[in-house]
Structure formats: structure tokens, C-alpha cells
Structure 1
Amino acid sequence: MDFPILETERLILRQLTPNDAKDLFEYFSLDIVMEYYDLATFTHIGEAEEVITTFNTEFENKKGFRWAIELKDEKKVIGTCGYHNWFHEHFKSEIGYELNPKYWQKAYMKEAIQPILSFGFEKMNLHRIEAFIDPANISSEKLLLSQGFKEEGTMRDFFFEKGKFVDATIFGLIKK
């Protein structure tokens, strides 16, 4: 299967390539972006290259999809969004995303996530899409609620990240 390209008014959602490493490093190297991410803040561009390889390997192994969110006007990758932990036998997957802070509060992630949710239900045959977020990540919570996700509860000390246990609030979206 070829990697699907999705398009919105302002964005092209496409497969990440090694050429995107510079754009990813620009924001993966910022503590504010990595605060709720399960990776340490990047310190060299090689880490961005590795994360691109990881996302593309997930696709090749039919375990997920991670789209580059490219701004049409600037031909610049401003974030990524997609699926991981795809359990085919349970018709469910987990969604994840991040965005360069220069582009926060401009509804880019809301614009990107809509066709990705449709793709999940229609093409990946998902029945359930999950998101696990830090309870303090209010922006992420607002995004998920705006897309119809329901908060299902908070799991205490659910992940071990950056040397400490952290809670995770789970959100779910069921196919209509």
C-alpha cells in the first residue's frame, strides 16, 4: 500500500521523508513541545532523522500511520499526526500529534485531525480511536473534545517518562 496523501484547505498530509528532519528538529528541540511527549527534548538533528525512520517503519509494518503536516503556502512541515499501537484484531488504534509552537492557536491541528479521523474509520476499518494525554495538557483535551472524543477516565502512574511516573487521561472516539 502506498502512503496515503490527504489534503485540506491549508495543509498537505503526507509521508515524512529524511528531508523533513530540519523542520521536525526545529520544534522537537523545544522543551515546551516535549513537555507532554514521551521523548526527551532533541539536542541534535540525528534524533529527528531517527523519529522519521521510526514513524515510517511503523507504516511499513502495518502498525500505524504518521503524516507530516505540511503548510501548503510555505512547503514547511509544522507538525505530525497519526496512529500508533494499531490493534487490527480489536479494530482500534491510538492517535498522537504535535505541532510547532509558532503555529499554535491557528486551528491547524483541528484541520489536520479531521481527515485523519475519517481515514481511520473508513480506510483502516477502526471502530475505536484512543488518545492518552497528560491531564495537564488542556490544549490537547480541548482538541479531542472538539472532535467528539469522550473522556473515559484517568489512569494513575500509567506511563514512566523522563524518570518519573505520570498519569494519563484516556479519551475515546467510537465509529458512528
Structure 2
Amino acid sequence: MQSERLIFRNFNLDDLEDVYEFGSDKEVSKYVTWETHKSLLESEKILKDIFIANKYIFAIVEKNSNKCIGAFEFMPEIKNNSLCFGYVLNRKYWNKGYMSETLNFMLDYAFNYLKVNRVYGMHRKENIASGRVMEKCGLKIEGEFEDAEFLKGKYITLVYRAILRKNYKRG
């Protein structure tokens, strides 16, 4: 699968150095649920046990460099015909429109190929950039949940955003 500047594919062992690059960046990992990767060996275990093992986690690959710059995950809710999503992007590629391009592509894939009714995601309240990406792609705030999770030693507030098939703008 591909968009204008990106390729979306399954992860493989050749992605190890790239996964370590974004996984070991404290600025990147402060907004995700997992801890900062401390070694290449730790990244390899995560790559094998999580990224490669899950067919719904896609490597985000920049076409020009063929570099894996991040990951996008769908978490299906079959009973509800909906998908939750999560993503991470190498800090060197922030503010270049890559995540908006990724989310727009994945929304199109979810609604037009997978035929789901609802797609939603959440972000930490202080992660304003992630909120802007979701808003730009048409997701509306459904709620803000104070102290919703205890993560990395503190309670965090989560903002939930979603878009329904009937509200999705095609093409």
C-alpha cells in the first residue's frame, strides 16, 4: 500500500536500526505507552514479538529513502465494526505532514476497503501535535478523560477522537 510519499507494509528484521532510532528517542517515547528502548537488543525483541507478529501494525516507509520512519497500528473491534488506531513517528520527520498523510490514507483504507463504521484514536492531552493531526483528518473530539491511565509513574489525561463512515469525506 502506498500514498504520495509513503509506503505502508509489514515490518521485517531489516527495520531494526530504524525502529531503534525512533524507539530510543525519549522525546518520541514520552507520548506512547511503551518505555524508551534502551538497547538494539530490546528493539529487536519488540520488533519480532510485536511489530512483525501483528499483521495490523504497518511500517511507515519514506519512498525517497526507503527508511522506516514510524509505525501505524489498527486494533480491530470486530463486534462493533470499528477500529482503534495508534501511531509513532521518528522525530526527524515531525512537522512534514507525514502523519497526516498516513492517517488520511489509513482512514480511506478503513472505510473503503475494510468497510468499518467507526475509526477512533486517543492522544495525551499535552500532545497537541497529535491532536492537530487527528483534527486535520476529520476526527472529532468525543471526550476528555482526566487521569484515565496510570502511565510511566503518573496519571494522564486522554482525549478521544473519532470519525464515522457517514461523516468521512471520500477522495
Q: TM-score if structure 1 supplies the norm length?
A: 0.88
Aligned partners of 1:173 and 1:56: how far apart in 2? 28
Amino acid at match of 1:116: M
Instruction: Give the drift of 1:156.
Output: 1.6
The aligned residue for residue 89 of structure 1 is 79
Segments of structure 1 that go 5 or more residues without pairing to the other structure are: 1-5, 60-64
| Correspondence 1:171 to 2:161 | yes
Partner of 2:62: 71
Aligned length: 165
Partner SS for 1:73 = coil
Question: What is the rounded CA distance, in whole Å, between the counterparts of 1:93 and 1:23 in structure 2?
Answer: 26
After TM superposition, list the pairs within 5 Å mapping 1:55-70 onto structure 2.
55-59=51-55, 65-70=56-61
Contact 1:158 1:166 in 2 (8 A): yes
Q: Report what 1:20 is aligned to.
A: 15
Percent identity of the aligned residues? 29
Runs of 4+ with deviation above 4 angstroms = none
Give the counterpart letter for 1:77 in structure 2: C
CA distance in 1, matches of 2:93, 2:51: 22
1:45 Cα deviation from its structure 2 partner:
1.6
Do 1:82 and 1:116's aligned partners in 2 also have CA atoms closer than 8 Å?
no
Q: Distance in 2 between matches of 1:66 and 1:116?
A: 12
Structure 2: distance between partners of 1:108 and 1:82: 15
Counterpart in the other structure of 1:62: none
Q: Is the 8 A contact 1:29 1:41 kept in 2?
A: yes
Q: Which SS does the other structure have where 1:43 is aligned?
A: coil
What RMSD, in angstroms, separates the aligned Cα atoms of the two structures?
Answer: 1.3
Q: Per the alignment, in what secondary structure is the counterpart of residue 70 of structure 1?
A: strand
Deviation, 1:125, is 2.5
Q: Work out the CA distance in 2 between the residues paired with 1:174 and 1:19.
A: 36
- The aligned counterpart of 2:39 is 44
Alignment of 1:94-173 (within 5 A): 94-173=84-163
- Using the alignment, how far apart are the partners of 1:57 and 1:27 within structure 2? 19
Residue type matched to 2:93 in 1? Y
Query: Over residues 78-98 of structure 1, what are the superposed CA-to-partner deviations in whole Å (9 max), with x where a residue is unaligned?
Result: 1111212x1101011211111
Q: Normalized against structure 2, the TM-score is what? A: 0.91
